[in-house]
Structure 1
Amino acid sequence: MSRLVVVSNRVAPIQEGKQSSGGLAVAVQEALSEVGGVWFGWSGEIYTSGSSRVKTETKGRITYATMPLARRDYDAFYKGYANATLWPLFHYRMEFVEYQRSYVAGYRRVNEEFAGRLSSMLEPDDLIWVHDYHLIPLGRDLRMMGHRNRIGFFLHIPFPPPDLLTACSDHAYLVQSLCAYDVVGFQTENDVRNFLAYIRTIAGGSVGRNGRFEAYGERSRACAFPIGIYPDQLASQAAASARSRQTRRLVESLAGKDLIVGVDRLDYSKGLDRRFDAYETLLEAAPGLRGHVSYMQIAPPSRSDVQSYRAIREVLEGKAGRINGRFAEFDWVPLRYLNKSFQRDQLTGFFRAARVGFVTPLRDGMNLVAKEYVACQDPEDPGVLVLSQFAGAAAELDGAVTVNPYDHEYVADGLQRALAMPVEERRARWTSMMSALRANNLGVWRRSFLRALQGR
């Protein structure tokens, strides 16, 4: 196999003793360790004067190449177009979309700069794998610089239907940029359908078999590659973490109560406000559960310099206070809302201790927390996953209690069903989901995409 060049908005930490726990980071590290190559992206640093330069560091067979962003580029490219325009648009949240021409200019400028810095590092037979919505134009920019390498793109978030995408003035530019790739990967078949519907109806292109399409003078292929995890590794970690001091403290604090757990980055796409409403409805509708169940929501801060994210934090704090003020007793707090981060090994122990995994985003590309919760369960006494029908993971995890996150009464019913589910049914559902996780683990995702990119 040729050298692999991975491009992502951020490059995983490479300091000694620090490992990124995200699925993308793990998959990229594995792929680059096997075949050797370059991981290129933003360093996370911001400068206000002078010029940037690419810093490189080689460890084993991997060269990490990173560059900082100018303050104006961070504001327009990352904070602006990527996270205030594309993120809400691709998650079907039009009310949060902020569109400014200065954002667009910054987005194009940074992608062109990335392409220019990467260009001199490329070899003719390199296989190039570009990741996520921050870098949609990168492949097209490399093509315009004369590179004819095999270049693939994978979108980690949802892809909206044409009638939503066209609300963005740059929709044609975005899709035309995607057409410059040899393979365009999505999380689910629904995302592929949305993309190909645009190709047919808006771009005036043609769609053939196996996702092959022609548009804007380019031929390419769109396929679903649902990202996975390594379930057996997580299961082993969870079993060990169940004996940790932190997990023991959690279990002791519950005093025999059933635990509902949610772990989500603080983001409006996760539907946390509606999730709180559903839990409140559960306590209203099933008074017998009061004092016998606790809901712990872990929500690490995210993008705190974006107004919409500050607003959702205020809403959640208000709802948590109201629920606890309404239902709490001197020896029971119904809702534990933790606006902080925890280490991965701690979370696996918390997942294993929870009777219910509560994962109800309003829209999500995949949602690996759902998969992680399943993998962390005790096979003899597994918990139940309550999962949004709008999470990409719902297409694979048929053993979950699937709910509509927009209907708080329906979600409350799902929670009640999960809490009352007998152990035989819980085992059967867990076994089915665990089999799916093993069949399509993280290594399968990575190898499947790279085989397609190589034209196999």
Structure 2
Amino acid sequence: MSRLVVVSNRVGPLKDTGKAGGLAVALVDVLQEMGGLWFGWTGTTSDEGSFGPLQTEAVDTVTLAQIDMTQADYDDFYAGYANRTLWPVLHYRLDLADFSRRYEEGYRRVNERFATRLRPMLKADDVIWVQDYHFFNFAAELRAMGVTNKIAFFLHIPFPAPEILAGLPNADQLVRRMLAYDLIGFQTSRDAENFRRFVVSEIGGKDKGNGVVSAGGREVLVRGYPIGIDAAGFAKLATTPDARRHTARIEKLVGGRPQIIGVDRIDYSKGLPERFRAFERLLEDYPENRGGVSLMQVAPPSRSELDAYAEIRRELEELTGHINGRFADLDWTPIRFMARSFTRRALAGIYRASRVGLVTPLRDGMNLVAKEYVAAQRAEDPGVLVLSRFAGAAEGMPEALIVNPHSTEGVAAALQTALTMPLEERRDRWQAMFDRICAQDASAWAREILRDLDAYSK
């Protein structure tokens, strides 16, 4: 039986810490079943960087293998090209991208160094599965070293239309290097189609149908594979003691009044300022909600070293003060903004206590919060999901109230619909979504990709 080798920027954990997300759960399940190696960055920098000692940990049939980066590699590869160049471009924000040649060179350097460290650990029949935008070049580096193993890639964030990606200097070279993979997976069929269109229109390749593209002597399977969560497991989290405590705290706090919940990292792709303005419009256009409906926004900081993120946090704090100053009453605070994180058990309890889940990114690969919110609901009295059309989750959750996050009036109207929706309709919408996320869970996602890789690359 083939061994699975997973490559990702960060590794693990193999054990449930209460904070592991859907990706970690899915990868751990399939790694333990197949036996495997999980390779990536330690999360720390050192003088030796990737040339330093390999840090390994074996747990049953799975080995974690990690290496450091130098500070220069971190600055150029991770903070630089990955997060200052690729992240904004792939989220349709060319205006925020830093097109530094030094960053691009650092990205290629780290991909090559990491591939060099992985190469001696590979076995002839290993199946290699590379994760996310940090490692677009990884397969090309391995192929240059003579690796002929089956290699799959999955992108967890959006892949933009060719007209957007073409704004990235050397985008054609990046896509050509991606064709060293045997299978390239995206969150949605739209993202997969964007990639195939780029291959045809920008590098002269051919779309051969059934998801296959060819260029430069390579044929690659390119499809959408929407990632899932462990829906049944997350539903159980909502009934754990910790979750129940958080549910009870919220219910005591709101005193029977409806709460809207948002959970997002502070990031310009998440549309948080637009969300706050839409909530303000809800209170303006539907004044019966004043003194009753509140918005809780959980927003852990991310990439705080980048100016754009610090500016968003300041804007959110200013909007919170403005809206609360305008509408608050003695016993009611319209917005509770918390720039901190919670465990998954705590979040399950918070979701369960919230009448509306508000998930309105301006652009998102999937957004698993939408699925977690649905999984956490009480079947007898579920809440309503309001979901951006630009989240990958919208492709598979048509029963949500789908909105344009740029329209404050439209989001406010959808919130009003959610708050006043009859119980029977809420149950019908929730049941359809819950059944689907249970069937299309994280394990099914991983196994489908590996089945297709095996079938296509024989």
Q: Decide: shared fold, TM above 0.5.
A: yes
Query: Does the residue aligned with 1:120 lie in a helix, a strand or coil?
Result: helix
Please report the TM-score for the alignment, with normalisation by the length of structure 2.
0.97
**What's 2:117 paired with?**
117
Matches within 5 A, 1:412-431: 412-431=412-431
Q: Which amino acid aligns with 2:210?
A: N
Residue by residue, what CA displacement relative to the aligned partner does 1:359-415 show, whole Å, maximum 9, x if unpaired? Answer: 000000000000000111111100000000000000111110000001111000000
Note if contact 1:56-1:63 (Cα within 8 Å) is conserved in structure 2: yes
Residue by residue, what CA displacement relative to the aligned partner does 1:298-336 show, whole Å, maximum 9, x if unpaired? Answer: 000101111111111111111111110111111110000
Note if contact 1:398-1:432 (Cα within 8 Å) is conserved in structure 2: no
**What's 1:205 paired with?**
205
Residue by residue, what CA displacement relative to the aligned partner does 1:21-40 show, whole Å, maximum 9, x if unpaired? Answer: 11111111111100111000
**What's 2:405 paired with?**
405
Aligned length: 455
Note if contact 2:19-2:344 (Cα within 8 Å) is conserved in structure 1: no
Are residue 29 (structure 1) and residue 40 (structure 2) matched?
no
Query: Does the residue aligned with 1:394 lie in a helix, a strand or coil?
Result: helix
Residue by residue, what CA displacement relative to the aligned partner does 1:393-446 show, whole Å, maximum 9, x if unpaired? Answer: 001111100000011110000000000000010001001111211221111101
**What's 2:220 paired with?**
220
**What's 1:290 paired with?**
290
Note if contact 2:271-2:361 (Cα within 8 Å) is conserved in structure 1: yes
Note if contact 1:241-1:247 (Cα within 8 Å) is conserved in structure 2: no
CA distance in 2, matches of 1:215, 1:20: 41
Root-mean-square deviation (Å): 1.3
CA distance in 2, matches of 1:248, 1:210: 50
1:48 deviation in Å? 3.9
Q: Which amino acid aligns with 1:11?
A: V
Are residue 339 (structure 1) and residue 346 (structure 2) matched?
no
Please report the TM-score for the alignment, with normalisation by the length of structure 1.
0.98
Are residue 367 (structure 1) and residue 356 (structure 2) matched?
no
CA distance in 1, matches of 2:48, 2:137: 26
**What's 1:86 paired with?**
86
CA distance in 2, matches of 1:256, 1:440: 34
Matches within 5 A, 1:41-56: 41-48=40-47, 51-56=51-56
Note if contact 1:371-1:437 (Cα within 8 Å) is conserved in structure 2: yes
CA distance in 1, matches of 2:18, 2:381: 31
Q: Which amino acid aligns with 2:288?
A: G
**Mean Cα deviation higher: 380-389 or 200-209:** 200-209
1:237 deviation in Å? 1.6
CA distance in 2, matches of 1:173, 1:326: 52
**Mean Cα deviation higher: 110-119 or 435-444:** 435-444
**Judging changes above 3 Å, is the alpha-carbon distance between structure 1 residues 35 and 317 closer, same or farther for their aligned structure 2 residues?**
same
Note if contact 2:22-2:230 (Cα within 8 Å) is conserved in structure 1: no
**What's 2:449 paired with?**
449
Identity %: 51
Matches within 5 A, 1:39-438: 39-48=38-47, 51-241=51-241, 244-438=244-438
1:216 deviation in Å? 2.2
Q: Which amino acid aligns with 1:25?
A: A
Q: Which amino acid aligns with 1:434?
A: F
**Judging changes above 3 Å, is the alpha-carbon distance between structure 1 residues 243 and 210 closer, same or farther for their aligned structure 2 residues?**
closer
Note if contact 1:11-1:39 (Cα within 8 Å) is conserved in structure 2: yes
1:53 deviation in Å? 2.3
**Judging changes above 3 Å, is the alpha-carbon distance between structure 1 residues 237 and 19 closer, same or farther for their aligned structure 2 residues?**
closer
Note if contact 2:299-2:338 (Cα within 8 Å) is conserved in structure 1: yes
1:240 deviation in Å? 3.1
CA distance in 2, matches of 1:216, 1:274: 43
Query: Does the residue aligned with 2:239 lie in a helix, a strand or coil?
Result: helix
Unaligned runs of 5+ in 1: none
1:13 deviation in Å? 3.1
Q: Which amino acid aligns with 2:357?
A: G
1:217 deviation in Å? 2.2
Q: Which amino acid aligns with 1:104?
A: E
Q: Which amino acid aligns with 2:54?
A: V
